[in-house]
Amino acid sequence: MDLKLSYKNAERILEVEDGEVPYLRYPLLSDTGIVKHGFSTRLGGVSEGCYASMNLSFTRGDREEDVRENFCRIADAIGVRCEDMVFSQQTHTSNVRVVTEADRGMGITRPLAWQDVDGLVTDVPGICLVTFYADCVPLFFVDPVKKVIGLSHSGWRGTVAKIGKETVRKMREVYGCDPGDILAAVGPSICQDCYEVSEEVIRQFQEHFSEKDWASLFYKKENGKYQMDLWRANEMIFLESGIKTEHIAVTNICTHCNSEVLYSHRAMGDQRGNLAAFLALNEET
Ligand SMILES: [Zn+2]
């Protein structure tokens, strides 16, 4: 597959696994040797029309058998199993669910038993956490010491509610993780140049972020709108949670700048598929 991506900078933050079913991954996380993970693209699937081709949503009107085939394909590529997947049910909350052995297959081999779950954490080897995207920000967490992982969906509402911090809090509270050990990544999503927001949205950020940081998060334009940097905001949330700078990777790939190969809500509207993020602890660890 020829995956043509434009990058915001030249750093080696994300790598492309360029097989028949391409996906993106972070060397920061792979290098731990304890996880399998990936972020899908639009390529390598069987869906048609506005869903073409790797749509990973059962709820956007695509044919169920096509979506199932897509999940099989991406699972094979990343090295996880469909029956081990556990899905979020994203509604822009900051709710983080602790996933146990009993949840295996939730969302794919059986109907989801929960709603309003935007973050997932687990310490169960083999279980593959799955969250969904089309411009919103995926947050990956790996604690290589306690062998605990987390995956959270952080759109602007989730970012204002600091779901990243909530995920770290859950990892500390439930599994005794030390934030100083946690590796964290901000995944492919909309960049500041592409993300115009209203003053109403900015007011929410002003309420939840300290004034000294505003200038690095957003700027006002002549039309009265703002350009907002969700990547930087989530990086700040990581730091605020006690994660070390050297343990953080921030994407340099924007979904909107790359809407030919990544689904982007701002670029495509509602007629589109979903991307997905995958994260699983290796079974042999
Ligand atoms: Zn962009």
Q: Which helix (H) or strand (E) holds 97?
A: strand 96-98
Spacing, Cα 177 to ligand 1 middle (Å) = 34
User: Is pLDDT at 221 greater than 70 in this prediction?
Assistant: yes
For residue 116, the tally of other CB atoms under 10 A from its CB is 13
Ligand 1 center–CA 106 separation, angstroms: 33
| 255 Cα: distance to centroid of ligand 1 (angstroms) | 6
How many angstroms separate the alpha carbon of residue 13 from the centre of ligand 1? 16
Average pLDDT taken over every residue of the chain: 97
Percent of the chain with pLDDT over 90: 97
| pLDDT digit string, tens, across residues 117-133 | 999 999 999 999 999 99
The answer to whether 105 and 80 have CB atoms below 8 angstroms apart is: no
Å from CA of 183 to ligand 1 middle: 25
Q: Are 195 and 165 in contact (CB under 8 A)?
A: no
Tens of pLDDT, residue by residue over 242-264, are 999 999 999 999 999 999 999 99
Write down the pLDDT at residue 285. Answer: 52
Cβ atoms of 103 and 148 within 8 Å: the answer is no
Q: How far is the CA of 232 from the centre of ligand 1 (A)?
A: 14
Beta bridge partners of 120: 97, 151
Q: Which of 114, 120, 127 is nearest to 84 (CA)?
A: 127
Digit-coded pLDDT (tens) for 23-58: 999 999 999 999 999 999 999 999 999 999 999 999
CA of 258 to the centre of ligand 1 (A): 7
